[in-house]
Structure 1
Amino acid sequence: MQETPSKRTPFLARFFTLFAGLTLGSAVVAATPPAIDPTPHVALKTNLGEIVLELDQEKAPKSVANFLQYVKSGYYKGTVFHRVIDGFMIQGGGFDKNMKQKATKAPIKNEAQNGLQNVTYSVAMARTGDPNSATAQFFINVNNNAALDYPGRDGFGYAVFGKVVSGMDVVDKIKAVPVADKGPFENVPVTPVVIESATLLKTAPAKL
């Protein structure tokens, strides 16, 4: 015997369709990704102490994303500050303590036009003469190096993407270590200054 359609069916169909739509809408809202932290913090633990960096994701998105990729992959563990020039900057993130260079990801676009300046304790991307050659290496300015700001002497400048917010005393220790030439490299610390770990902090340190 064929069932007779109920007069309530259209109403129920509309009700359940609406309910399903509301449920789907709730799911979409729930799936919205969390807001991106505009100023992520990274702790660099070295054999001379810890340095905490605050990164500027808004003004240097490519540089920050690139740096965080290396941080999260553990790339910086065991690398050194291989070039130290007191009165100028300390550079690291590309060599191990035997001065063997590590392989990197593809280079990124220069963001030196972002308005951030190479002032004391700012952190910037190191590069070759090619303005768009920055990969893993970075440097911390230990002086106000306006000559490195955009446009600089080469028309491009060096992209700042953050600053030191804790551990300035550690930076000061590093800039003062004895250096010497090592093979083709100049201004290499006599005793390696090793980055033992680089960690993305879940929250900014309370003292900040």
Structure 2
Amino acid sequence: MTFIRSILAATVLVSAHPANAQDGPAITDPPEAEAPKTSLVVLETTIGDITIALEMERAPITAANFLRYVEEGRFNGTVCYRAMHLEWGEPPNGLLQCGTQNDPKRILPPIAHEPTNETGLSHVNGALSMARFDPGTATGDFSIMIKDQVGLDAQPNAEDPGQRPGFAVFGRVVGGMDVVQEIHAAPVDPDKGEGWLKGQMLAKPVKIVKAYRAPPLD
């Protein structure tokens, strides 16, 4: 595409020259494709704000579900409670998990799974992904990637059937990634959590005071 645009730009310059004024109208670059539609949400935590762009067009089911939790106040008073730290790569590396913790008074019915091989999204640094058990069980818990975690993407050809659906990415952090990293760096309680979650639970979870929609960025 860059090569084609370079040719078009050169053609415009030649056509605009007085010696070529009779050669016909100048050729212009084709219009840029519009960016996929997003909606902005702010998570106001006790240590700072995190601004998120929800992928309303590319992951419509998952993004709309998250937005409903925001608009109905279901995230207000919840916490960021889990910090998974990976030992490989340059730290910080892992993910931060927040949300309703399956509170029956807060959660909505589970939503259909939107795999990354269909949405075109990926678990890159700052991406938001739904926490779940089996595909189609996600409700009101989500994770924020710290560094690329593309192993969580859908892998339709994986030998392990459990890896094939991956997890559903539905947004990305566009402001306050430093806040995400600060929460992720908070001490964990080695005795909290069960099974593989043990040692990943924050000793003092950080509260989401309020979640709300924000105006588009300039």
> In the aligned structure 2, how far is the partner of 1:183 from the partner of 1:137?
16
> In the aligned structure 1, how far is the partner of 2:127 from the partner of 2:53?
9
> In the aligned structure 2, how far is the partner of 1:122 from the partner of 1:102?
26
> In the aligned structure 2, how far is the partner of 1:194 from the partner of 1:79?
6
Report how far residue 182 of structure 1 moved: 2.2
Superimposed CA distance per residue, residues 135-183 of structure 1 (whole angstroms, 9 cap, x where no aligned partner): 1111100121111001275210011111000001101101111001325
Any conservation in 1 of the 2:126–2:145 contact (CA below 8 Å)? yes
> Which has the higher Rg, Structure 1 or Structure 2?
1
Query: After the TM superposition, which residues 10-25 of structure 1 pair with which residues of structure 2 at under 5 Å, given as runs?
Result: none
After TM superposition, the score normalised by the length of structure 1 is 0.74
Q: Percent identity?
A: 38
> In the aligned structure 2, how far is the partner of 1:189 from the partner of 1:105?
25
1:39 aligns with 2:38: yes
Which residue number in structure 2 is paired with residue 124 of structure 1?
129
Superimposed CA distance per residue, residues 3-45 of structure 1 (whole angstroms, 9 cap, x where no aligned partner): xxxxxxxxxxxxxxxxxxxxxxxxxxxxxxxxxx921000000
After TM superposition, the score normalised by the length of structure 2 is 0.71
1:101 aligns with 2:103: yes
Q: RMSD of aligned C-alpha atoms? A: 1.8
Which residue number in structure 2 is paired with residue 28 of structure 1?
none
| Aligned residue among 181, 195, 203 for 2:208 | 195
> In the aligned structure 1, how far is the partner of 2:217 from the partner of 2:57?
20
Q: Secondary structure at the match of 2:37?
A: coil
Structure 2 regions of 5+ residues with no counterpart? Answer: 1-35, 86-92
Structure 1 regions of 5+ residues with no counterpart? Answer: 1-36
> In the aligned structure 1, how far is the partner of 2:209 from the partner of 2:63?
20
Distance 1:110 1:166, change over 3 A: same
1:204 aligns with 2:216: yes
